[in-house]
Structure 1
Amino acid sequence: MDVPQIYATTAGGFFLVFILVNFLSRTVRERIALFTSKHLTYPYFIHRHRLLGPWTRSGILVELIYIALNVFCLGFRVSTLPKAGLQAGNLSLANMIPLLAGPHLSFLADILGFRLGTYRRVHRSAGVMSFALLLFHVLVVALQRTSFSLRIPEHLYGTIAGSSLCLLVLLSHPVLRKPSYEIFLRTHQALAVLSACSIWRHLPSDSLFPRMYIYISAGLFVSTSVVQCVGVLWRNGNFRHGRARALVTHAEGSVKIKITLSRALKVEAGQYINLWIPSLELFVEPRQGLTRELLYHAQAGERGGAFGSCWVLFSGPHGISAPVGEYESILLVGTGFGMAALLPYLQELIHGYQTRKVCTRRIRVIWQVRHIETALAMQPLLNNALKGDNLDKILSISIFSTYLKEEKVSFGRRGTVSRGSADATGTFRAEVEKRHTEDANRDIEAAQTEAEHEQETTGKIQGEKGRMLVMVSGTAKQRDDLRDVVRDNLDEGVELMELEYQPKEG
């Protein structure tokens, strides 16, 4: 068995373990999930810093296993340094396969059933590992060769491939990536294509095996690209149904994009696009690049400019929708534009409560904004979510503004905006206490009403206490603080979910 077969077999074994876990009983799976969450997933091994972290224990463990597997394959049945260099080159190509599998990370994450953040970490780890192995390959070649001429095609294309990957890794640093993400993305994709083509020309043509990695990557790339393009063209309409168009306006310092669709599109809460037929409304946080340009044109349009309705293309919906209806108590914590990511879940919960499709009994919303203009821009969508909450008043909303001049300001039909900062962890502890009180009252009531079946009923009710979900789209400090307090209450059926979108600032 050669090294690529060992590598593939080991990787397949890890996937097989995850598949077999699904066949275990629900009780065993819940115990495994509780143990891994409490000791591996939630605790930070390296806390959040400006240029590093956060890394959880599970993240560190997976990375160490990944590194150990590659190191083992690198030294397996290798007796000389030149063979180790050749082995490193082959392993680098094997690690490149997920990097070149498709043009869009969100689409690949949807295919595998991963969250976008998870697949980004996979992409990042595979990229760093591939570059490290390639660097080792280059160093070994440099040590073994006495002369190096770029007139030889093998050397020339090897140099181009190595330089492209080196530049690609350097440009991926946040300092160089954040000023203009659009430029970074296109440069990143161009360098990836250049490196793949150069590696193909660098590899010997008399043997199929080394080039097989490139052929597999190219086949995956073409397949996923065709499927995604067909989906985009279908969802965006054609000459018969018309094309999707967007109207960009300016609302209280935010960009409001209303997309008129050519055909119906089903979107679940938590996915990147929230659709209400026949139109779609998005609130965009102006940052850099495209979003900043949209804000400029929207403001110019209100002053009499010509920027208005325009033809657009969109892909999606992407992402995984969380089953929020399975939880008895929900705490939604948002900062600034993070409320836009939470609103679809809020609307789904209230609608499900009215139609008796969810078991949720209490929803608590904490929203922190810097300026009240952000809240005013999102007020119509928030009012729409409140329309269905007219029975038991299961929804409670607390809004805080850091720079509010007055002590309190009315907000909508029944809300108020208070001056100051939100205490998300304090609210969480209060909700947990309230759950304990409600659970105790239900146990007492059940024991009184069904005294003849006291043991059976009490055991059943105590074993099926409602769970609590904390969803957050907020600042890094807010997420870290909530992670710490939720970890202490995992045994009580409390879970934390950080949404895909996290605002840049409050």
Structure 2
Amino acid sequence: MSLALVHPRSLVSLEPTEYYGLYVGLGFILLLAYPAFSLIRILCGRANDHLWFFRQLLLPVWLCGRRIILGYEAIMFCLFLAVNILSIVIGSANDTTELIRRLGQVAIINLVPTFLGAHMNHVANACGFHYERYARLHTWLAAVVIVEVVLHTVLAVKQTGYDGPSHHVTGILASSSIGAIAVFSVPVIRRRMFELFTYIHTLLVTAALVAIWLHLPPSSFQRGPRLYLLLSSFIFASTKVGRLLNVLYLSISFSAGGSVATVQEQGGGVEVRVRLARPLRFKAGQYIYLSLWRLSTLSIFESHPFQICWAYRDESDQQVIVLLAQPRRGFTSRLLGPAPRKYRALIEGPYGKSLSLGEYGTVLLLATGVGIAGQLPYVKELLELYQDCQAKTRRVALFWELDAEVHRYWVKDWMDELLALDKDYILDMQLYIPGRFLSRRASESTVKKLGTHGRITLTYAAMRADQLIASEIAQRKGRTLVSLCTHATTTRAVVEVVQSFGDQNIRTEILDFQP
């Protein structure tokens, strides 16, 4: 039921599922309002200050494996699940027909936020969602919908059999479409057919929408399940159209032509330089989705997220953004090649939350592997703010653990630029290489000084992030921020160390992408 269509006097006559619809709508409106109203941000900021420990609490390894899941995410999901269950069972536990109806109606209400999709979009980005948390939220919402649809279908078939009313056929079709979505979404299957997954998923969602519409009994469009289904369809379609317009605007220009990506191997990784058709306004920490024409047969249908590592203007004064990729399988493995290659590129974004580093006296940035792509833009931004007297920062330390020594050539030129920007020597860069050395003379625990005035320290050993952070915090200057773009083991170790200090002036931020 739409909030605008509810008269205050009628609230007392609403049933549990309609109350649930109101709560979902109110929560969605508050999320959209968060970036627009300073009062909400101030109140939330004060609440965050008081709940700083709670916000950084991680679920244990035995519960979430290698993934980094914050405790408040699990609590919010449990509350959501509890409200779902209460909305379904209150007053219907002993009435199978009512239980079936409630299951169907709550599932349709849950479709409204679910149909924003797992792919980041400007609505979810405006609400401040972290990339991985947003994908996880979509997965959890979809799982709840699937369970409710399965229970609705099983109970309905058990009650009336397959020879029930004619609208049960469309119900079975809707359930089958949603079941197929669940099967194709299993990680093993999704990874094997990633190029086609998005489009199979879209076709199945469309089929489910049509089947559910035909399955519903006739009712007014202004209330009930048909209203929720219309809202779901509108969100689904507008999200797709909005993303398409974003891609076309950034990727095609009548004056400059289209965006072009130059792909080449660099120090055991892949560097992608995209000359943009139109200027892209982005901040440190943001990312884009990239598609490449003719990389493979169906590559134009693939869209992969990449952190923006660097940006500059070429000789024709066009903006070029630089992306780093560590080849694994699928899309990134096909980027490997013997020589630089050019492709037509489609760009979507930018997305992601940018951190305000200038208000901290000490900024500690940690990266492992290709995670350096997420930290370099922050170093550059912070040094520029410092030169303009807009930052309180007095120490910037970058710690980077490389999988192989050759990987330091990914960013060698940019590190030299950062050293040139650092006029007052507030920047300290420490590189750790646990193995795969370039020189036979190099041995474990060897330490070298590189760069101007030896401001880059190269250590042939593993990075003991917890000990480094403990040492830095002990001698910190003012408020301290610890930014993490590291693998899960390092992230967990650092967060636990920061929590052990119990100091609200030390904050930890986990960037959108983790290597």
**What TM-score, normalized by structure 2, do the two folds share?**
0.82
Q: Does 1:131 align with 2:163?
A: no
Cα 1:409–1:467 shift into 2, 3 Å: closer
Tell me which of 367, 381, 401 is aligned to 2:400.
Answer: 367
Q: Does 1:169 align with 2:182?
A: yes
Q: Report what 2:155 is aligned to.
A: 140
- Measure the CA separation in 2 of the matches of 1:159 and 1:363: 59
- Measure the CA separation in 2 of the matches of 1:32 and 1:280: 37
Q: Report what 2:115 is aligned to.
A: 100
Q: Report what 1:181 is aligned to.
A: 194
Asked if the contact 2:52/2:504 (under 8 Å) is kept, the reply is: no
- Measure the CA separation in 2 of the matches of 1:221 and 1:13: 19
SS at match of 1:481: helix
Percent of matched pairs sharing the same residue: 25
Q: Does 1:67 align with 2:81?
A: yes
Q: Report what 2:300 is aligned to.
A: none
SS at match of 2:514: coil
The structural deviation recorded for 1:50 is 7.1
Tell me which of 129, 133, 136 is aligned to 1:118.
Answer: 133
Cα 1:154–1:52 shift into 2, 3 Å: farther
Q: Report what 2:316 is aligned to.
A: none
Deviations 1:266-296 (A, max 9, x none): 110010053434211111121221111111x
The structural deviation recorded for 1:55 is 4.3
Q: Report what 2:429 is aligned to.
A: 397
Deviations 1:162-191 (A, max 9, x none): 223223223333333344533433333333
Cα 1:472–1:55 shift into 2, 3 Å: closer
Deviations 1:410-449 (A, max 9, x none): 65544242211011111111111112xx5xxxxxxxxxxx
Q: Does 1:488 align with 2:500?
A: yes
Q: Report what 1:231 is aligned to.
A: 246
Tell me which of 263, 272, 290 is aligned to 2:278.
Answer: 263
The one-letter amino acid paired with 2:194 is Y
The one-letter amino acid paired with 2:71 is R
The structural deviation recorded for 1:210 is 2.7
Asked if the contact 2:56/2:508 (under 8 Å) is kept, the reply is: no
Q: Report what 1:426 is aligned to.
A: 467
SS at match of 2:354: coil
Cα 1:469–1:195 shift into 2, 3 Å: same
- 215-224 or 480-489, larger mean C-alpha shift: 215-224
Cα 1:310–1:222 shift into 2, 3 Å: same
The one-letter amino acid paired with 1:324 is L
The one-letter amino acid paired with 1:164 is S
- Measure the CA separation in 2 of the matches of 1:25 and 1:291: 38
Q: Does 1:310 align with 2:346?
A: no
- 93-102 or 323-332, larger mean C-alpha shift: 93-102
Cα 1:181–1:416 shift into 2, 3 Å: farther
The structural deviation recorded for 1:155 is 3.4
The one-letter amino acid paired with 1:496 is T
Q: Report what 1:444 is aligned to.
A: none
Cα 1:221–1:50 shift into 2, 3 Å: closer
Cα 1:485–1:157 shift into 2, 3 Å: same
Task: Report runs of 4+ in structure 1 exceeding 6 Å deviation.
Answer: 15-22
Asked if the contact 1:270/1:322 (under 8 Å) is kept, the reply is: yes
Q: Report what 1:447 is aligned to.
A: none
Gaps in structure 2 of 5+ consecutive residues: 1-13, 289-307, 314-318
Cα 1:98–1:366 shift into 2, 3 Å: same
- Measure the CA separation in 2 of the matches of 1:157 and 1:13: 31
The one-letter amino acid paired with 1:316 is G
Asked if the contact 2:121/2:239 (under 8 Å) is kept, the reply is: no
Q: Report what 2:304 is aligned to.
A: none
SS at match of 2:285: coil
The one-letter amino acid paired with 2:345 is V
- Measure the CA separation in 2 of the matches of 1:166 and 1:422: 45
Q: Report what 1:456 is aligned to.
A: none
The one-letter amino acid paired with 1:493 is N
Tell me which of 133, 155, 160 is aligned to 2:173.
Answer: 160
Tell me which of 460, 470, 485 is aligned to 1:473.
Answer: 485
Asked if the contact 1:269/1:348 (under 8 Å) is kept, the reply is: yes
Counting only pairs closer than 5 Å after superposition, residues 36-51 of structure 1 correspond to structure 2 as 36-38=51-53, 40-47=54-61
Q: Report what 2:293 is aligned to.
A: none
SS at match of 1:316: strand
Tell me which of 308, 324, 327 is aligned to 1:286.
Answer: 327
- Measure the CA separation in 2 of the matches of 1:171 and 1:48: 27
Cα 1:103–1:253 shift into 2, 3 Å: same
The structural deviation recorded for 1:323 is 0.8
Asked if the contact 1:92/1:130 (under 8 Å) is kept, the reply is: yes
The one-letter amino acid paired with 1:433 is A
The structural deviation recorded for 1:235 is 1.8
- 345-354 or 119-128, larger mean C-alpha shift: 119-128
The one-letter amino acid paired with 2:496 is D
Asked if the contact 1:334/1:368 (under 8 Å) is kept, the reply is: yes
**What TM-score, normalized by structure 1, do the two folds share?**
0.83
- Measure the CA separation in 1 of the matches of 2:372 and 2:22: 44
The structural deviation recorded for 1:135 is 1.5
SS at match of 1:317: strand
- Measure the CA separation in 1 of the matches of 2:190 and 2:55: 28
Q: Does 1:276 align with 2:312?
A: yes
Deviations 1:298-323 (A, max 9, x none): 32x35xxxxx2222110111111111
Asked if the contact 2:287/2:352 (under 8 Å) is kept, the reply is: yes
- Measure the CA separation in 2 of the matches of 1:81 and 1:52: 41
Asked if the contact 1:165/1:192 (under 8 Å) is kept, the reply is: yes
Q: Which has the higher helix share?
A: 1
- Measure the CA separation in 1 of the matches of 2:398 and 2:501: 19
Deviations 1:380-431 (A, max 9, x none): 222222220122x111111111112503456554424221101111111111
- 487-496 or 83-92, larger mean C-alpha shift: 487-496
- Measure the CA separation in 2 of the matches of 1:24 and 1:154: 46
Cα 1:145–1:29 shift into 2, 3 Å: closer
Q: Does 1:217 align with 2:227?
A: no
Cα 1:156–1:11 shift into 2, 3 Å: closer
- Measure the CA separation in 2 of the matches of 1:339 and 1:262: 26
SS at match of 2:355: coil
Figure out how many residues of one structure are paired with residues of the other and give that number: 461
- Measure the CA separation in 2 of the matches of 1:29 and 1:45: 23
Q: Report what 2:98 is aligned to.
A: 83
- Measure the CA separation in 1 of the matches of 2:210 and 2:136: 25
Cα 1:46–1:228 shift into 2, 3 Å: same
Q: Report what 1:446 is aligned to.
A: none
The structural deviation recorded for 1:471 is 0.6
Asked if the contact 1:284/1:291 (under 8 Å) is kept, the reply is: yes
Cα 1:205–1:24 shift into 2, 3 Å: closer
Asked if the contact 1:109/1:116 (under 8 Å) is kept, the reply is: no
SS at match of 2:258: coil
Cα 1:75–1:114 shift into 2, 3 Å: same
Q: Does 1:335 align with 2:348?
A: no
